């Protein structure tokens, strides 16, 4: 990806408002044509299992606005902060946000059991649906959302590893299409304003 | 907002007196402010610790290691989030430089103390002893207060007074 293409891409999508989306789409779109830069490409098929053992697919995202966030339970900083913030947004929205569904997708199914994942997500809000799949299913949902994740081994002989992953919160409309993203640096006011726009557009 | 002035004064005194000093540690020319650990969710195997380190001397120092008993492994980590929104967390084997006369803040989305294989879950309200090891200043035992993760980076309100005495408060969020 050259710098010039990035600038072109930003120009196409419009500057500040689309910065988060552009960054996601530009990084993971990857194709030669500009259609790959369309945010509409984010979202798509997946088959995962929630903390209660129920199957969840892209069909379950239809009919209500949704938030989708990728992470893992060994993550001590960005993941718990983001989930705590999401819980705060839901509190702030109250009745207004009652139809908003929240999905926390593990990028580390090897260590995150369904039970651990459910406990982790439930700690922040009972409304967070924790999604887990096998390696292939995880790759499928990440591909659908143009989400990046990578296992990083720690070279201290312990076998411990870390996960790099996309840290933005995806905002999906009730028709299953991508609306916007909330980045880690967003203030609660900015986040809630975006969620209100998502709800209005759904 | 004139009526708020007495209240503001009281709050400022509380913030600068009671709250802050309860969480300050000093070793030589280093001042360690507001050390805290975010309460991990039940079953979470890791926890993160945060604080602000001020170096009042005219020579740089370096936080090189961290030691504790509540977790089997403790390291210094840095989180970065690139323009594409990808989060990377990496150990810093050389630690963090604390520049002469400077302040380094360990906070969400930046530096943190990484506690792995947590044996006993820290719960909000706990005070947990952690040893910080500096290249020049040596070792210091610090009590970290455990707080709910919803309280971001600080346990008290940030307050600014502008010229006419109007108070602005915002939560740590």
Selected for mutation to probe chain B from A36, A77, A88, A91 (highest B CB count within 10 Å) is A77
Interface contact flag, A80 B40, Cβ < 8 Å:
yes
* Residue whose structure tokens are 């979470």: B44
Query: Phi first, then psi: what are they for A96, rounded to 5°?
Result: -60, -30
Number of independent structural domains in chain A: 2
**How close B58 comes to chain A (CA, Å)?**
32
In a domain, B41, yes or no: yes
Within 8 A of A70 by CB-CB distance, chain B residues are none
* CATH code, A80: 3.40.30.10
Interchain CB contact of A161 with B (< 8 Å): no
Rounded Cα distance between A147 and A134, Å, is: 16
Does residue B96 sit within a domain?
yes
What would the DSSP string read from start to end of chain A? --HHHHHHHHHHH-TGGGHHHHHHHHHHH--SSGGGG-GGGS----EEE-TTS-EEEGGGGTTS-EEEEEE-TT--SHHHHHHHHHHHHHHHHGGGGTT-EEEEEES-TTT--HHHHHHHHHHH-TTEEEEB--HHHHHHHHHHTT--EEEEE-TTSS--EEEEEE-PEEEE-TTS-EEEEE-TT--HHHHHHHHHHHHHH-
Q: Check CB contact under 8 Å for A184 and B87.
A: yes
Q: Give yes or no: residues A17 and A48 share one domain.
A: no
Residue B35 counted as domain residue: yes
Please indicate if any CB of chain B lies within 8 Å of the CB of A165.
yes
Does the distance separating the beta carbons of B47 and A164 come in below 8 Å? no
| Tally of domains in chain B | 1
Closest partner residue to A84 among B87, B116, B150, by Cβ? B150
Q: Which domain holds residue A123?
A: 42-201
Residues A155 and A197 in one domain: yes
Chain B contacts of A160, Cβ < 8 Å? 73, 116
Asked if residue B106 belongs to a domain, the reply is: yes
Residue B161 lies in a domain: no
Q: What is the pLDDT along chain A (202 residues), one digit of tens a residue?
A: 444 444 444 343 333 333 444 445 444 443 344 444 455 589 999 999 999 999 999 999 999 999 999 999 999 999 999 999 999 999 999 999 999 999 999 999 999 999 999 999 999 999 999 999 999 999 999 999 999 999 999 988 899 999 999 999 999 999 999 999 999 999 999 999 999 999 999 9
Angle at B80 between CA B74 and CA B84, to 5 degrees: 145
Give the count of alpha carbons within 13 A of A153, CB side only.
5
Shared-domain flag, residues A29 and A60: no
Q: Tell me how far apart the alpha carbons of residues B39 and B36 are, in angstroms, rounded to a whole number.
A: 9
CB contact under 8 A, B91 and A152: no
Residues A55 and A154 grouped into a single domain: yes
Q: Residue B104 belongs to what domain range?
A: 25-153
Q: Which two tokens stand for residue B112?
A: 């943190």
Q: Coil, strand or helix: which one is B19?
A: helix
Question: Are A150 and A57 part of one and the same domain?
Answer: yes
Q: What is the CATH number of the domain that holds B88?
A: 2.60.40.1890
Q: List C-alpha distances in Å: A134 to A112, B11, B99.
A: 11, 52, 46
pLDDT in tens, B78-113: 999 998 899 999 999 999 999 999 999 999 999 999
Which of A178, A159, A160 has the alpha carbon at shortest distance from A170?
Answer: A178
A84 vs B47: CB contact, 8 Å cut-off?
no
Question: What is the value of pTM for the model shown?
Answer: 0.79
| Closest CA in chain A for residue B84 | A23
Burial B60-72 (b: 16+ CB within 10 A, else e): ebbbbbbebebbe
Q: Identify whether residues A75 and A22 lie together within a single domain.
A: no
Are A185 and B44 an interchain contact pair (Cβ–Cβ within 8 Å)? no
The string of pLDDT tens digits covering residues B126-156 is 999 999 999 999 999 999 999 998 755 443 3
């Amino acid at each position: 990806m050259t710098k010039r293409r990035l600038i072109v891409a930003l120009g196409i999508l419009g500057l500040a408002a689309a910065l988060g989306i552009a960054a996601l789409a530009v990084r993971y779109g990857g194709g030669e044509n500009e259609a790959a830069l369309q945010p509409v490409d984010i979202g798509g098929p997946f088959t995962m299992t929630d903390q209660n053992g129920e199957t969840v697919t892209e069909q379950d995202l239809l009919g209500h606005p949704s938030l989708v966030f990728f992470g893992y339970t060994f993550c001590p900083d960005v993941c718990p902060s983001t989930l705590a913030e999401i819980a705060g947004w839901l509190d702030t929205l109250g009745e207004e946000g009652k139809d908003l569904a929240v999905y926390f997708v593990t990028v580390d199914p090897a260590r995150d059991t369904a039970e651990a994942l459910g406990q982790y997500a439930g700690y922040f809000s009972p409304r967070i649906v924790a999604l887990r799949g096998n390696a292939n299913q995880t790759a499928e949902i990440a591909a659908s959302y143009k989400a990046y994740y990578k296992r990083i081994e720690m070279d201290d002989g312990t076998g411990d590893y870390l996960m790099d992953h996309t840290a933005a919160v995806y905002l999906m409309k009730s028709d299953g299409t991508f609306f916007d993203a909330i980045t880690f640096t967003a203030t609660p006011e900015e986040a809630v304003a975006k969620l209100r726009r998502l709800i209005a557009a759904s | 907002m004139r009526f708020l002035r007495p209240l503001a004064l009281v709050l400022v005194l509380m913030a600068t007196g009671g709250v802050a000093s309860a969480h300050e540690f000093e070793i030589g020319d280093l001042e360690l402010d507001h050390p805290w650990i975010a309460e991990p969710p039940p079953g979470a195997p890791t926890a993160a610790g945060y604080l602000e380190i001020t170096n009042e001397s005219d020579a740089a120092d370096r936080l090189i290691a961290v030691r504790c008993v509540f977790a089997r492994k403790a390291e210094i980590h840095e989180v970065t989030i690139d323009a594409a929104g990808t989060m990377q967390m990496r150990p810093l084997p050389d630690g963090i430089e604390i520049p002469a006369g400077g302040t380094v803040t360990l906070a969400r989305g930046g530096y943190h103390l990484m506690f792995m294989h947590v044996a006993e879950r820290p719960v909000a309200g706990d005070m947990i002893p952690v040893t910080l090891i500096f290249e020049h200043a040596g070792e210091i035992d610090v009590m970290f207060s455990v707080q709910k993760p919803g309280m971001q980076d600080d346990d008290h309100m940030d307050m600014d007074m502008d010229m006419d005495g109007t108070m602005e408060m915002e939560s740590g969020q």
